[in-house]
Structure 1
């Protein structure tokens, strides 16, 4: 969920700005630029960003100062890794701000809550699931794509709501009465979207997915 940045000021705005700028700079530094130096992968990355842009244009206001839209960032993370997913999400938010759909005032805050947090969660989940569970196709789809995708949107939405409550615009009690009780309904569409796309990608275009190898997840299973 995206928040209206004009409500943020002082230390809260500085913290979000520092986190977002640091995250984007780190992503720029460690990004696997050789991956998208390949024309096919570059086209896939840009196509994914355009798809993300269209998805994020479809949004609904759920409370004053906050709007909900699906993320799709778990798929981007699984396809390109943490750094390119962060840069792709940031590029989309920047494009939406230029188009006047998202607010410039909220850009750095939203990079933190809408991009950095869900992408980082998806990457950590990928590492932990690889460590704790056997490498199997269905585990990859249901845990890394479906479950992680649904959890990522919930974590991002809760963080956006927490940030909004810290501005004093709304209390958690007010948000609970208006939309927080519907958060579980946000899980399923995000989970299905990521699970469905990743199933198609690893089935037909596995070389587009940096986190998936047939040798690890299919051969001998």
Structure 2
């Protein structure tokens, strides 16, 4: 394990512990149906992160689904839910153990925080309308989040000197131009369906604000 890999593990663990949501365990135990939502979210993420595609081994892309998770649970709970898929990927060798910390930072901790920041910005500075929630907090947010994830991962690969910057840019970073729309569409559709049929699943969606006839 290199010094950067150790630092990434320590940083990820520190962030998870410092921002541990105290309401998560009581909510998990007391709120009816919440366990099913949490574990369904973890299963969906595991499937999304297991399906990878790329040109150069080690430089694979996959859909995130982080924006939907953050809008459903909030950033702090979403981080801890992501730990279960990460543990499974580490167990089955899909993600090398030494890269677990970097994977956490670049896949769900920092992108998740960014995604929540975009939602928060849209909530405070844009009209609170269903279309704004779906298109900005969902669609555009997801597109920006996966671009950030790709940039963070590109920087990590370069920092680790796993590949030359030319190889990383040509075979990984540029692919952000291809995957952003798929990620945005996936999350946008999920948010739309939940906002219409299961609004109580979205912790960041408020019926009295986004569906108010006065807005």
The two structures have a TM-score, normalised by structure 1, of: 0.90
Give the alignment partner of residue 27 of structure 2, picking from 28, 31, 35: 35
Give the alignment partner of residue 13 of structure 2, picking from 15, 21, 31: 21
Q: Is the 8 A contact 2:90 2:100 kept in 1?
A: yes
CA distance in 2: counterparts of 1:123 and 1:33, whole angstroms: 21
**Residue in 1 that maps onto 2:66:** 73
Within a 5 Å distance, the mapping from 1:1-221 to structure 2 comes to 9-10=2-3, 12-37=4-29, 38-220=31-213, 221=215
Q: Is the 8 A contact 1:60 1:69 kept in 2?
A: yes
TM superposition shift of 1:103: 1.5
Larger deviation, residues 173-182 vs 199-208: 173-182
Q: Is the 8 A contact 1:31 1:83 kept in 2?
A: no
What is the RMSD computed on CA atoms of the aligned residues? 1.6
Q: What is the CA deviation profile of residues 133-179 of structure 1, one whole-angstrom value per residue up to 9, with x for unaligned ones?
A: 01110000011110111111111111111111112222322222333
Work out the number of aligned pairs and report it.
Answer: 213
CA distance in 2: counterparts of 1:18 and 1:100, whole angstroms: 20
Q: What is the CA deviation profile of residues 166-221 of structure 1, one whole-angstrom value per residue up to 9, with x for unaligned ones?
A: 12222322222333222111100000000000000010010111000110100213
TM superposition shift of 1:18: 2.5
TM superposition shift of 1:29: 4.4
TM superposition shift of 1:22: 1.3
TM superposition shift of 1:16: 1.4
Q: What is the CA deviation profile of residues 88-124 of structure 1, one whole-angstrom value per residue up to 9, with x for unaligned ones?
A: 1121111111122221121111011111011101111
TM superposition shift of 1:33: 3.1
CA distance in 1: counterparts of 2:178 and 2:100, whole angstroms: 26
Segments of 4+ moved more than 6 angstroms: none
Q: Per the alignment, in what secondary structure is the counterpart of residue 106 of structure 1?
A: helix
| Cα distance change on mapping 1:31 and 1:100 into 2, 3 Å | farther
TM superposition shift of 1:67: 2.1
Larger deviation, residues 72-81 vs 100-109: 100-109
Q: Which runs of 5+ in 2 are unaligned?
A: none
Q: Which runs of 5+ in 1 are unaligned?
A: 1-7
CA distance in 2: counterparts of 1:136 and 1:52, whole angstroms: 28
